[in-house]
Amino acid sequence: MGAAYWNDSSGSCIECSAISPAANTPSIEGSTLTTQFSKQNMNKNLACERKIDEKNIDAEQRRHVKQNKIVRQERQVQAAGPSVLIPSVPWNEVDIGTVAKIKGRVAIWWDRRRIEIVKVEVLKCTDLEVKCWNEVRDFRKEILDIPWSLTRNEELQCRSFKERQMRKSSKDDEKKRFQRRKQVRMEK
């Protein structure tokens, strides 16, 4: 997981985190996968010519099916769009001092707020920076500055959600206390 501190020009730094890509992941375009599949086909042909036992051929077929499944899953994920688990980050363009527009969700980690990155857009010129500043200004003026009002039904939903969270946390606290007591008894 990659983490960085981003400066939003407000005087505070915001920690942002994203899941970094795994090394040597196959690309969907097929450069890595095509060579793997062609090697498999070549291996299958050699296996037929040399009459290698059926167990090895079955293993090759299982690997081929597994790789096809991985490719299908990756395509489905890309069709769904970016998310916290699959962020859209141009890793080759991001470097120290890069100006970027980050979209994500607020999360709490070790009692500190941070942004879990969903999408990063590198701002390559000042015009894009100014456009981004204007978007932030408009968002603050049109959305955040207006007092939010909840209907009675929405208020009840929020309260019941908070109460469920509190009950769950109190149950978790009870479990932890019980486990500590059990450990103390075991040590004696």
What burial class does residue 28 get, using C-beta atoms within 10 Å of its C-beta: 0-12 exposed, 13-18 middle, 19+ buried? middle
Give residue 63's pLDDT. Answer: 76
Alpha-carbon gap, residue 95 to 41, rounded angstroms: 40
For residue 183, tell me if it sits in a domain.
no
118 pLDDT above the threshold of 70: yes
Please give the tally of structural domains in the chain: 2
72 and 96 co-located in one domain: no
103 and 121 co-located in one domain: yes
76 and 94 co-located in one domain: no
For residue 111, tell me if it sits in a domain.
yes
Against a cut of 0.75, is the pTM above it? no
Its domain, for residue 138, covers: 2-19+84-144
| In contact, 99 and 80? CB cutoff 8 Å | no
For residue 24, tell me if it sits in a domain.
no
Give residue 34's pLDDT. Answer: 43
Give residue 31's pLDDT. Answer: 44
Residue 10 confidence class, pLDDT cut points 50, 70, 90: low
Residue 151 confidence class, pLDDT cut points 50, 70, 90: very high
Predicted confidence (pLDDT) per residue in 21-45, tens digit:
766 555 444 444 444 444 555 555 5
For 14, the enclosing helix (H) or strand (E) is strand 13-18
For residue 170, tell me if it sits in a domain.
no
Give residue 142's pLDDT. Answer: 92
Give residue 2's pLDDT. Answer: 58
